[in-house]
Amino acid sequence: MLSLGFSLPHPSNNKLIITNKNQYNFRTNLAKVCSNNVNAAGDQLVTLPERLKHVAVIMDGHRRWAKNKGLTVKQGHRAGGEKIQVLTRLCSQWGVKVLTIFAFSTENWVRLKEEVDFLMKLFLELIGSQENLDEWTRDGRRVSFIGDKSILSKSLQKALAVMEERTKCNSGLHVIIAINYSGRHDILQATKSIASKVKNGHLTVKDIDQSLFEQELETYCAEFPEPDLLIRTSGEKRVSNFMLWQLAYTEFYFANKLFPDMEEADFMEALMSFKSRQRRYGGQKI
């Protein structure tokens, strides 16, 4: 769950073409995903699930991927960063409104200092890049960062603030990047904020309800703060202290591939899986 990236050329052998508001032609090896939906030209026709507004992803497997290939951990994180761009592009083309990326958790500080230092430098390199900033501004993407930023370097804090400020008025895909984030801490800080407001007389206990509580969570910055779909790679089946409140009714998709091994078709399969989900929220199917 430790890498992100912003720049990747479009693969030459994969082409995703808008045909109307809710369908795309996708020329690639997607027979497994949509084998029964082919047009006269032989293109795979993908019908999009309109209810899919917010996708969250836990990236897993960068170090194992690097070890399997005889590469360094640093190379593993960079490879994963490239795959984030593939998913970001797909979400933009699909019409997904929010993409949340778990880039670095509060628990990740226990990793080797060399790895942590590299990741912090990588974040600064990618987020602080003028080229990346211009690209995301041009593409209309909005970027927000959640997590405890207070212990990050001053230079990284500044880069995060600049990226948020430059993209805050954009109306395209809203990318939320969780750095030094903890779901438990998010709930705890919201609780403390409400308690402080009650103590100072700005709120009463009777004012506290689910809506008010959610306004204090870090994800309140998003139009759709609760993920519809969570994708986790490398065969792991846990949430790892990620968005614990927000994932209450999220649909989960677990991929066996390591994150750097995920290809465009794999991400498409994950997104397409949402079509078959029957969301009841404890009641009737929606």
Active site residues: 60
The sheet with strand 23-27 has its strands ordered as: 15-20, 23-27, 44-47
Q: Which of 149, 91, 107, 90 is nearest to 1 (CA)?
A: 107
Structure tokens at 162: 């600049």
Phi/psi of residue 54, nearest 5 degrees: -130, 120
What span, in angstroms and rounded, lies between the C-alpha atoms of 262 and 234?
A: 10
What do you get for the CA distance between the two ends of the chain, in Å? 32
- Contacts with 85 (C-beta within 8 Å, 6 or more apart), sequence order: 5, 6, 7, 8
The sheet with strand 229-232 has its strands ordered as: 142-146, 174-181, 98-105, 54-58, 229-232, 251-254
At residue 176, the 3 state secondary structure works out as: strand
